[in-house]
Amino acid sequence: MRSERIRHIAALGSSYAAGPGIEPIADRRAHRSSRNYPHLLAERLDAALTDLTISGSTTETITSTPQRFLFRTFAPQLDGLPADADLVTITVGGNDLHYISSMVRLGLAGRFSSRPLTRPLGAVVKRRGVPRPSKDDIDRTAAGLAQVVKEVRGRAKGARVLLVDYLTVVGPDTGYGRATPFDAATLADFRRLGGHVADVFTRAATRTGAELVGMGELSRDHALGSPQPWVTGLPERLSGSSLRGAFHPNSAGMQAVADAIADHL
């Protein structure tokens, strides 16, 4: 790998890059932390940072479609990409396949189902189950991620482009618990969906020649239920603010991603 000095990092992506729920928050309307992996990496490399990450982003809201989030509309992230960036990190695609949002929804359903008073509500919320994306859905997401890479190269012509995939949430040893109120079948479905997300990154990297930092594989031993998880589960106290970070990287996870990227470089 090349080892030239990195002077300016640009970060594109969704909540797995933005870091909702990790204090301090740099932009509350984007749910973007100042201790997410782009910030930690920039500190480690002593580089400038343009952090364009926004929770809830999809491949389309990075390339072409304005993103409406709460009471704010964000321009496509590529509109803010600096031409002089020499490293661009990309973490997006999970929302295209409804990955983490379905985990939050079914986590709430599981919690509601554990209490007699809210059990009927849990049954209603659970009806939709874990998404089962079609081959076309997966192909479309991989193509969307490849398009992000292509457009980054057109705008920041000298940049190294790194695809940074999602940390593993449900690992081989993740079981039922307060933070993971899923039965065995649901856990298996989430493992499968996580595999589809990882496959999207692999296919986009193969198609474009972009470098891939495979955090899914690197974090398999740090999934929920492990001694040192790099992601959070469903919080004990449920609120709008606490749910923002549910099933997302925690501080240790963000540090692990930053370290893995630095090692890759």
Active-site annotation, residues: 15, 248
Q: Return d(Cα 192, Cα 184) in angstroms, integer.
A: 12
Kindly state the tokens that stand for 107.
């986590």
Query: CA 132, 137, 142, 146 torsion: positive or negative?
Result: negative
**Residue in 189, 98, 94 with CA at minimum distance from that of residue 142:** 94
Query: How many angstroms separate the most distant Cα atoms in the chain?
Result: 60
Q: Return d(Cα 156, Cα 113) in angstroms, integer.
A: 49
CA dist 113 to 122, 130, 181, 241, Å? 5, 16, 9, 22
Q: Return d(Cα 67, Cα 121) in angstroms, integer.
A: 30
Q: Which helix (H) or strand (E) segment is 54 a member of? A: none
